[in-house]
C-alpha cells in the first residue's frame, strides 16, 4: 500500500494539537510531551505523558494517544499518522511498529532521540520537524526535573 505523507501545512496543524496536549500535561503536574493519532485528516486519539498524574510507567504521550483511540482494526492503523512532540522512545516506537502505523511526525529529537533509524529500517516514514517550541518546552522541564525525566526514559541519574 502506498504511504500517504501529510502536507507541511497538515504536519504543522496537528503538531500544534500535540503541543496543546503537552501543555495540558504540564498544567496538570506532568511531563510536557503530547501526541495525537490522526486518520484521514481527523484526530482519533489525543494523549500526554501520564507518569506523574497517574503514576504510570507505560502511559507515555504516544501510548496515551493510542490507548485513547481505542481498539482499531489493522486497516485503520495502516492509514494513521502518529504525531509526538518528542522523538518516540523504544516502547512508543514499538507500539507504532506493532500496529503498522506507517508515518510518524516528530516535534523534536534534540533533547531525546528514540530508535528512529531502526523504525525507518522497518519501513516507517519518520519526519523530524525540529520545532523550537517543542525543544524549549523539554529543555526547560528536563533542566528543572532531571530525576523525573531520567525515570521516564529509563536512564540512571
Catalytic residues: 62
State which residue, 131 or 142, has the beta carbon closest to a copy of itself: 142
Q: How far is the CB of 136 from a copy of itself (least distance, A)?
A: 24
* Spatial CA neighbour of 37 closest among 76, 87, 86, 90: 76
Nearest approach in angstroms of CB 90 to a copy of itself is 4
- Count of CB atoms within 10 A of residue 14's CB? 21
Asked if 28 and 105 touch (Cβ cutoff 8 Å), the reply is no
List residues binding a copy of itself (CB under 8 A): 51, 55-58, 63, 66-67, 69-75, 77-78, 89-95, 97-100, 118, 150-151, 153-157
All 3 cell numbers of residue 101? 502505523
Query: Whose Cβ is closer to a copy of itself: residue 11's or residue 142's?
Result: 142
Shortest distance, position 64 Cβ to a copy of itself, whole Å: 9
Q: Contact at 8 Å (CB) between 62 and 88?
A: yes
What are the phi and psi torsion angles at 54 (to 5°)?
Answer: -115, 5
Whose Cβ is closer to a copy of itself: residue 18's or residue 119's?
119
Amino acid at each position: 500500500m502506498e504511504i500517504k505523507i501529510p502536507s507541511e501545512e497538515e504536519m504543522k496543524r496537528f503538531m500544534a494539537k500535540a503541543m496543546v496536549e503537552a501543555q495540558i500535561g504540564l498544567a496538570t503536574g506532568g511531563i510536557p510531551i503530547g501526541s495525537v493519532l490522526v486518520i484521514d485528516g481527523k484526530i482519533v486519539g489525543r494523549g500526554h505523558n501520564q507518569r506523574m498524574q497517574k503514576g504510570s510507567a507505560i502511559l507515555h504521550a504516544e501510548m496515551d494517544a493510542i490507548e485513547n483511540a481505542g481498539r482499531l482494526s489493522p486497516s485503520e492503523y495502516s492509514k494513521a499518522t502518529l504525531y509526538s512532540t518528542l522523538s518516540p522512545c523504544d516502547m512508543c516506537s514499538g507500539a507504532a511498529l506493532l500496529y503498522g502505523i506507517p508515518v510518524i511526525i516528530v516535534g523534536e529529537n534534540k533533547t531525546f532521540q528514540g530508535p528512529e533509524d531502526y523504525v525507518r529500517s522497518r519501513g516507517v516514514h519518520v519526519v523530524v520537524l525540529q520545532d523550537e517550541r517543542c525543544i524549549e518546552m523539554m529543555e526547560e522541564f528536563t533542566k528543572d526535573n532531571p530525576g523525573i525525566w531520567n525515570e521516564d526514559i529509563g536512564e540512571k541519574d
